[in-house]
Structure 1
Amino acid sequence: MAQAKVFNKRRSGILLHITSLPSGNLGTDAFKFIDFLCASGSTVWQMLPLGPTHEDGSPYQCLSAHAGNNRFISRDILKSQAWAEPAKLNDTKMSRLMATAYRQFIKNATEADKQLFNEFCQEQQFWLDDYVLFREIRHLNQARAWFDWPVELRDRQPDAINKIKTERDEALMIRRFEQYIFFCQWGQLRQYANANGVKLFGDMPIFVAHDSADVWAEPNLFTLDSQGVATRVAGVPPDYFSETGQRWGNPLYEWQNHIQQDFDWWKRRLKTQLQLFDLIRIDHFRGFESCWEIPASCETAIDGEWKPAPGEQLFDSLLAYFGELPLVAEDLGIITDEVTQLRERYGMPGMKILQFAFGGDASNPYLPHHQCEDSVTYTGTHDNNTTLGWYHQLDEHTKKHVHAYFGETAESMPWLFIRSALRSVSELAVLPLQDVLSLDGKHRMNVPGTIEGNWLWQFNWDMFNSDNANKLKALNILYGRC
């Protein structure tokens, strides 16, 4: 099947989440970063999922598969709106700030502006109404998970839900308005990126968080009992990295119910992501062929088993609905021939990680001589150490393997890997910003299997010098990626 249009030319990109901008929002720093991409000859900005997170800050366990994180809203852009009274928009707490902004909007906005807001609420109603209810009820219940709410709210009993809608009407509208502002600001950023030739590359986890608006709204689509408790959960089996595997804890999908609905839930989910991004990575793609199913009673992933998933039926349905699927498959881990066939059937490039390539023998599938056009080559990802940090921790045997592979060269890490990624045959090469800035392991984004100290890294503009963009652009030109 034909690939998505974004792959019709060689490109390079940089991986950087919104939280890693100095401001952590969609304001001036985000636009300035697009300018840097342009100056460096990079035409893709890859980032992590954009949803509102739980307390641990992980973008892979969001409170919604559709909503945007209100922390990304730029206060400066908000204050610049014609209806705003900027002197009164200084509250440091986002919930109070948005309440004030909403009341200013209702008081001062033109009828045309109000109509745009109403149209947004109508167009996004398929997820927005459930989301604002979920967030408001969660707030009223001291941020407890939905399956610990009072039964009438947990089970969405009509009288209880209607009571919330009536008594909390303004609070619900403020939450709708918050999402409207996020999507407006995001739209401005995407328009600026696209106008400058930059594609936005998003990330869609295969599973959603148990405590999310999505699972609360449609529990029949997930492996839950009548009290909302997960009966079977997701993870990966024991491997080289972990003797007990990884127990992620997300509920799995009741695939038969998805099939009966012709995968409507997935169509809605992907529709929102395509409003945000030009290209989307699907995390843990192998789970669409079969996934590791763990009884919820098990504390580790040891006692799970592989259960088949209807990947072909799902992607056939999505392809018929959307016409094309601009998706990249995160095909790392235990990948079988069946998983590869599923990915190739729908023209989805896989991922090649240079940090995974060394220390073994010439058969390692991540070595550059095994790369193919239908792939995305990375020096490392958000789950890896920075390339410089990785190199510093290598044993002598692996270091010798790296240098023997690349031969006589005066180029040092991380630019040795950056050059390898850019000259690869992969149609897209992506570099974490930490590597472009030659930062060491203190600047790592995430350490899988840990819950503290992750997702916090931010750069500052002092880390850049005049040579960063020029050096990267020269390589992009040399290897045909500009």
Structure 2
Amino acid sequence: MHFTRSSGVLAHPTSLPGPPGIGDIGPSAHVWLDQLARMGCALWQVLPLGPTGYADSPYQSFSSFAGNPNLISPESLVAEGLLDEVEIRNAPAFPDDRVDYGTVIAWKRDLVNHAFDNIGGLQDDFERFRHANRHWIADYGLFMTLKDLYGGHSWTLWPPLLRDRDPAQMEKASSAYATEIRRHEFAQFLFSRQWNVLRRRARSLGIGIIGDIPIFAAGDSADVWANRQLFQLTEAGEPAFQAGVPPDYFSETGQLWGNPLYRWDEHQRTGFAWWIERFRAVFRLVDILRIDHFRGFVNYWEVPGEALDAVKGRWVDGPGEVFFKTVQQELGTLPIIAEDLGELDPRVPALRDLLGFPGMKVFQFGFDTDRTSEFLPHKYPRNSVAYTGTHDNDTTRGWFESLDDARRSFVLEYLGTDDSEIAWDIMWAVWKSRSVFALAPLQDLLDLPTEARMNRPGTTSGNWQWRATPGAITTEVQQRMQALNRATRRKPGKRRRSRE
């Protein structure tokens, strides 16, 4: 596949400034796109867009197909006549520099429910949406309704007949809770309408959207509940084996993610049909897709379901080339970025290169003690995507200030500068690299310290909350980005045509 040398910013919609409580996909996101265009950026990267579950993480979603209702714009609902403006004016008192998810979720749900009560002339459009998404939306609507009914508990703790999808009980529940199910489906309809408007605006400005998906589905999701045959589960629905990564330099016990592993033999028997639909759905939302933990398609760390850490696991081969060849036969060439960080089996870069997918390079990984690191910007190959840092890293300023004296001196020596504008100096180094794409989190454009970090891997509280404050993305910031893009020849160009 061919990508054009360009640049962009990583900023999840929740982090955008403007609306009460949480960034969303309404008018404030359109303002953000205009700002990106003025910067000379051709790319906007977001995190997974699904409904968030455990610890508000975008990587633990209740569905691989649904959108996050918390991103629905109340302003846009008012503009469509689905809400009265007074309902927004009476919003709770939210902080403007972080997301208070507990309060936001309850407030947004009430607004969407009120919008559903005013559906009026949108009824026919809603029914067409339900039909177009029939392969997943009924299961999702029932899943979310039952989750509400049973206090938010995992589906594995529901009454056994519902847990196991007994046909008679499924029919009974679908009938008894029909209105509640349709409310959840209507939220998906609203998300889809608003996102499609936003994406058309991005396309008109020459901005491509880079999406993101985790390789593994969350155990507590409609995906697993409705497709148990595709996952390695016990009779009670718990993971028989779970995903993670083995012990390494950073962790003596490894990382235990808890996601159930796939039954790849069953996926292959069905021609990877579930995955094809997953890709089809996500490419309706984005232009390019980053796959988290790409190495899992080559081999993955299998840990017993009852394990409390990731020490006693083993490497098991994934589907490899046959998976992507099968999917591409159905969908055509896939514009994918392979997250290929960490210690890798040699077969991982081999598969990445065979498929022509760019890998990732992260500036912060280049400055340990090894001065020959592949993560030093002058070594980045063209077919790569260069980052100052990702959502899992500290902000660039926070990272630099945490370094010991030796590594800090190495960074300054490499850059040939002082530390007065370290985030911008590092962006210059990344932007000057050969990598086809150069990206930085919005926090780095604003030169923010560690308090603005988006996620701290291995922790379950205080993450995913950061927001840019109103007025933070100044004219000066936009002009500096424009100058950076012009100087490094990363001007917007023609993008690969999107799937519809």
Task: Verify same fold: TM over 0.5.
Answer: yes
Deviation of 1:235 (Å): 0.3
State the match for 1:145 in structure 2.
154
Structure 2 equivalent of residue 56 of structure 1 = 55
Residue number in structure 2 paired with 1:290: 299
- How far apart, in 2, do the equivalents of 1:445 and 1:84 lie? 32
Alignment of 1:99-248 (within 5 A): 99-105=113-119, 108-109=120-121, 113-248=122-257
Kindly state the Cα deviation for residue 460 of structure 1 after the two structures are TM-superposed: 1.1
* Equivalent residue for 2:11, pick from 1, 13, 16: 16
Asked whether the equivalents of residues 16 and 45 of structure 1 are also in contact (C-alpha less than 8 Å), the reply is yes
SS at match of 2:392: coil
Deviations 1:312-356 (A, max 9, x none): 111001111111101100001111220001111111100000000
Where 1:373 maps in the other structure, the secondary structure is coil
Which amino acid in structure 1 is aligned with residue 57 of structure 2?
S
Structure 2 distance, partners of 1:419, 1:152, is 58
Residue of structure 2 equivalent to 1:77:
76
Distance 1:98 1:473 in 2: 38
* Equivalent position of 1:273 in the other structure: 282
CA–CA distance in structure 2, aligned partners of residues 11 and 456 of structure 1: 28
Q: Is the 8 A contact 2:83 2:111 kept in 1?
A: no
Instruction: State the 1:85 CA deviation.
Output: 5.4
Q: Does residue 67 of the first structure (1) align with residue 66 of the second (2)?
A: yes
Measure, in 2, the Cα distance between the counterparts of 1:441 and 1:183.
34
Letter in 2 for 1:161: M
Q: Could you say what secondary structure the match of 2:232 adopts?
A: coil
**SS of residue matched to 1:362:** coil
The Cα shift of 1:408 comes to 5.5
Which whole-Å CA distance do the structure 2 matches of 1:362 and 1:84 have between them?
A: 58
Task: Provide the secondary structure at the position in 2 that maps to 1:267.
Answer: helix
Please give the secondary structure, in 1, of the residue aligned with 2:372.
coil
1:45 matched to 2:59? The reply is no
- 1:29-59 C-alpha deviation (Å, 9 max, x unpaired): 2111111101111111101111111241111
Distance 1:222 1:35 in 2: 43
Change (3 A) 1:474 1:169: same
Alignment partner of 1:468 is 2:482: no
Q: Which residue of 2 aligns with 1:367?
A: 376
Q: For each residue in 1:96-126, what CA deviation from the matched residue of structure 2 results, as whole angstroms up to 9, or x when unmatched?
A: 3223222211xx31xxx43322111111111
Which residue of structure 1 lines up, in the alignment, with residue 494 of structure 2? none
Quick one: which of 396, 408, 416 aligns to 1:407? 416
Residues 8-28 of structure 1: CA distance to partner in whole angstroms, max 9, x if unpaired? x11100000111112321122
Matches for 1:77-96 after TM superposition, within 5 Å: 77-82=76-81, 93-96=107-110
Comparing 267-276 with 462-471, greater Cα deviation is found at: 462-471
Q: Secondary structure at the match of 2:322?
A: helix
Sort the Cα spacing of 1:83 and 1:461 in 2 relative to 1 into closer, same or farther, 3 A.
closer
State the 1:172 CA deviation: 1.3
> Post-superposition shift, 1:362?
3.3
Q: Is the 8 A contact 1:244 1:300 kept in 2?
A: yes
Instruction: List per-residue Cα deviations over 1:208-233 (Å, max 9, x = no partner).
Output: 11000000000111110111011100
Q: Is the 8 A contact 1:359 1:397 kept in 2?
A: no
Aligned counterpart in structure 1 of residue 363 of structure 2, from 333, 336, 354 = 354
Give the one of 383, 404, 412 matched to 2:392.
Answer: 383
Q: Is the 8 A contact 2:50 2:62 kept in 1?
A: yes
Does structure 2 conserve the Cα–Cα contact (< 8 Å) formed by 1:289 and 1:309?
yes
Secondary structure at the aligned position of 1:164 is classed as helix
User: Which of the residues 331, 345, 351 maps onto 2:354?
Assistant: 345
> Hey, what does 2:342 align to over in structure 1?
333
Determine the structure 2 residue equivalent to 1:320.
329
1:338-394: CA deviation from partner (whole Å, max 9, x where unpaired) = 000111111110000000001222331111122011000000000000000100111
1:77 alignment partner AA = S
Structure 2: stretches of 5+ with no match in the other structure: 92-105, 492-500
Aligned length: 472
Residues 410 and 253 from structure 1, CA distance in 2 versus in 1: closer, same or farther, beyond 3 angstroms?
A: closer
Query: Deviation of residue 411 (structure 1)?
Result: 7.0
Give the deviation of 1:407 after TM superposition: 3.2
Q: What CA distance in whole angstroms lies between the structure 2 residues aligned with 1:324 and 1:358?
A: 35
| C-alpha distance in 2 between matches for 1:86 and 1:358 | 52
Distance in 2, matches of 1:452 and 1:118, equals: 39
Q: Secondary structure at the match of 2:484?
A: helix
- Matched to 2:229, the amino acid is N
CA separation in 2, counterparts of 1:399 and 1:452? 29
Q: Which among 309, 334, 339 is matched to residue 318 of structure 2?
A: 309
2:340 aligns to what SS in structure 1? coil
Deviation string 1:438-478 (CA, Å, 9 cap, x unpaired) is 11111111110011111110111332332111111111011
CA deviation digits over 1:150-185, x for unaligned, max 9? 011001001111111111111111211110000000
**What residue is the counterpart of 1:98 in the other structure?**
112
Contact 2:83-2:114 at 8 Å conserved across structures = no
CA distance 1:56–1:83, change in 2 (3 Å): closer
CA contact (8 A) 2:378 2:434 kept: no
- Superposed CA RMSD in Å reads 1.6
Encode CA deviations 1:252-308: one digit per residue, 9 max, x unaligned: 001100010000010011111001000110000011100000011221111111100
